[in-house]
Amino acid sequence: MNAKMRWLKIGVNLIVILSLVIVLVVPSPVVLATVSEVGTGGIPLSINDFSVVPQHIVDDANMLATELFGDAREKHQDFISQLQATYLMAKDKDIVIIFNSGGWGWTPIEDSPFGMGIVTGISSELASLGYTTLFLNHLRTYESWQVIINESVEIATRYPSKAKDLITRVKFLTNHIPDLRVIIAGESEGSLICTSVMSILSDNPQLYSIQMGPPFWNNNTVSGKSLVLRSNGEVADAFSQGDIFAIIRANLEAMFGISQENTGKILFYIGAPGHDYRWEYPEVRSQITKFLYESFGTKQ
């Protein structure tokens, strides 16, 4: 097992080095993540009337946008608008769940194979505890081959730069809505950015995390405020547990038309048995339900 993990880590390091070389040769522009309400097909929040936002909150949004994007005027203004829109949507809610998709980071949760089941399940459980919720997609990229190269580096290095965007959004919401709780959720590669954010904001009492199927190299420390699922309770997750031979076997069988009993994919096309977290799986449902109850209890 140790030898296998060593070779897997060597392979990841080689990918990182190759990707870094390509990125240096063809530099990628700074990508502004977009936030959309779940169910809108990834369309950015469209609130345009910010007249009711207090001036001190507008000023803070402006300062944060400057820190992230400097003189890039269009990104700067878009980010301010996004911060104000999320504030207006979240200020009367108890809990905001910000979802980070797997793959290359541009797929909203409603388009993932099991996403809406998770949304419905979590919303229902929190409602039964008396909480109002807001689900948001955090789309960290857009479709582009150059973005894919840049994202490959981020995935392999646990999002050292893109985590700043999400950290800023979380701090903005929790600073200005003191009673709000925020859950950053992620599937597959999207769990990596959750780990980075939780590590940096470990002292934020309003922040929690749910991670489903994180990559095998993501050796995150599980705290009482994070739920990390590496198995759906039905089949061991080959990707999350680093079973490269199970992944190779599954894809070879698929190439020769052999029936696949164990579903699950990484990066859209690569088969990975067990990399599938559906609300209808008893283990997935029970683990998330238990985590929500132990974290929040019944609203008083």
C-alpha to C-alpha distances, 248 to 64, 72, 236, 251, 274, nearest whole angstrom = 45, 44, 15, 5, 14
- What is the predicted pLDDT for the residue at 156? 65
Closest residue by Cα to residue 267 from 102, 33, 101, 100: 102
- What is the predicted pLDDT for the residue at 19? 47
Are 5 and 242 in contact, with CB atoms under 8 Å apart? yes
Are 91 and 177 in contact, with CB atoms under 8 Å apart? yes
Output DSSP code: residue 236.
B
For the chain, the domain total comes to 1
Residue 24 has pLDDT above 50, yes or no: no
- What is the predicted pLDDT for the residue at 222? 60
Q: Is residue 246 situated within a structural domain?
A: no
Q: Is residue 126 situated within a structural domain?
A: yes
214 vs 150: which has the higher pLDDT = 214
Q: Is residue 192 situated within a structural domain?
A: yes
Q: Is residue 257 situated within a structural domain?
A: no
Query: What are residue 236's phi and psi, to 5 degrees?
Result: -60, 135
Q: Is residue 116 situated within a structural domain?
A: yes
292 vs 34: which has the higher pLDDT = 292
Written as six digits, the tokens of 75 are 């990104």
Determine the average pLDDT of the residues in 54-81.
92
Domain CATH code at residue 152: 3.40.50
pLDDT tens readout for residues 99-115: 998 877 778 888 877 78
Are 199 and 211 in contact, with CB atoms under 8 Å apart? no
Residues ≥6 apart with Cβ < 8 Å to 195? 158, 209, 211, 214, 218, 220
Q: Assign 134 to helix, strand or coil.
A: strand
The C-alpha atoms of residue 175 and residue 255 are separated, in whole angstroms, by 51
The boundaries of the domain holding residue 7 are: 2-45+54-232+277-296
Closest residue by Cα to residue 101 from 211, 216, 198: 211
The C-alpha atoms of residue 213 and residue 231 are separated, in whole angstroms, by 7
Looking up tokens 């995150």 gives: 220
Q: Is residue 268 situated within a structural domain?
A: no
pLDDT tens readout for residues 202-257: 999 999 999 998 888 877 666 789 999 999 988 888 888 888 878 887 777 777 66
The C-alpha atoms of residue 133 and residue 297 are separated, in whole angstroms, by 15
Q: Is residue 91 situated within a structural domain?
A: yes
Are 117 and 284 in contact, with CB atoms under 8 Å apart? no
The C-alpha atoms of residue 79 and residue 111 are separated, in whole angstroms, by 24
Q: Assign 241 to helix, strand or coil.
A: coil
The C-alpha atoms of residue 20 and residue 153 are separated, in whole angstroms, by 7
Residue 260 has pLDDT above 70, yes or no: no
pTM for the model stands at 0.84
Written as one letter, the residue type at 143 is E
Q: Is residue 259 situated within a structural domain?
A: no
